[in-house]
Amino acid sequence: MTTAVRPKTSRHPKGPLVDAEPARRHVRNLMSAGVSVVRIGEHANVGFAVVSGLLYTRGPGRPASAKIRHLNAQRILAVRADQVATGYVNPTGSHRRLQALMANGWPQLRLGPHIGLHPVYVNAVLKQPSIYGTTAANIAAAYDRLWNQDPRQHGVCTGTWKKVRNLARTNGWAPPGAWDDDTIDNPDAHPEWTGHCGTDHGWWIHRRQNLSMCRRCEQAHQQWLDDHSSLHPQERNKELFRARAAAGRREADLAADARELFQHGIDVEQAAARLGVTRPHLHQILKRHPDLEAAA
């Protein structure tokens, strides 16, 4: 009597799992062009939960998806902005992305070709109350490519690089490290320069790290001064010294520790858990404290 052999089944009946980050970035670019999560899912022929799972946490202890089915990733990446983004959209996120790139030293004349615009129109985009959705998607895609690139390694001379950075600093434009990818398009969101903006601690980090001062930290520090105005000057100075000392180089140390973990094969999510911070916060820390030695 022969025994029937059960056919082997695939470990991944719906296809292998792949890194979700490329699909996540593409979804964010489409959203910056005014395309809703529902519409992205419809055009990609994938479920709403698949798309939303790339962006949002799914409850306590369940972060946004780190992996996605290969077929779903292909379908999402195949959705083009010029197919689904129509009409005008809010330019807030586009303005912030251009300003952030300029804060890194990218001149407008060099940004034009990356966006698919004549260079002279980049300044016009910064002034427009609305822009085409396809232009917003192109700006978001360029931002994803360039936010951690040194313009000087792409032919921008040091003099121009310094001039553009000074212009951004004068205008108070936040660099990429101050923006979270999930909130940069939200008109009500604020740049997070320090990880503690809106507090007196944030004000001191601005000062210690020579960052452009944001309005929220200015207001918080003034409130601190008002709250401590009744102290004796000597005691008040002691409190000021303590506040300044507390704003040390904690973030820079965390960034260095994270990069050391990466060298040992630890991924971002594992590094965040070991360092006692959330994954999005670690991403922001790494943006605020780039590895200058590696870039050199």
pLDDT band at 57 (very low <50, low <70, confident <90, very high): low
Q: What is the mean pLDDT of the chain?
A: 82
- Overall average pLDDT of the 277-292 stretch: 74
Query: 3-state SS of the chain?
Result: CCCCCCCCCCCCCCCCEEECHHHHHHHHHHHHCCCCHHHHHHHHCCCHHHHHHHHCCCCCCCCCCCEEEHHHHHHHHCCCHHHHCCCEECCHHHHHHHHHHHHCCCCHHHHHHHHCCCCHHHHHHHHCCCEEHHHHHHHHHHHHHHCCCCHHHHCCCHHHHHHHHHHHHHHCCCCHHHCCCCCCCCCCCCCCCCCCCCCHHHHHHHHHCCCCCCHHHHHHHHHHHHHCCCCCHHHHHHHHHHHHHHCCCHHHHHHHHHHHHHCCCCCHHHHHHHHCCCHHHHHHHHHHCCCHHHHC
- Overall average pLDDT of the 275-295 stretch: 71
Token pair recorded at residue 140? 């978001």
pLDDT at position 197 is 85
Q: Quick: pLDDT tens for 59-92.
A: 545 567 788 999 999 999 999 877 776 678 889 9
Percent of residues, the chain, with pLDDT higher than 90:
20
23-32, 50-59, 220-229: least confidently modelled range:
50-59
- Overall average pLDDT of the 28-39 stretch: 81
Over its C-alpha atoms, the chain yields an Rg (Å, rounded) of 23
Q: Quick: pLDDT tens for 124-174.
A: 899 889 888 888 888 988 998 998 888 999 999 999 999 999 999 899 898
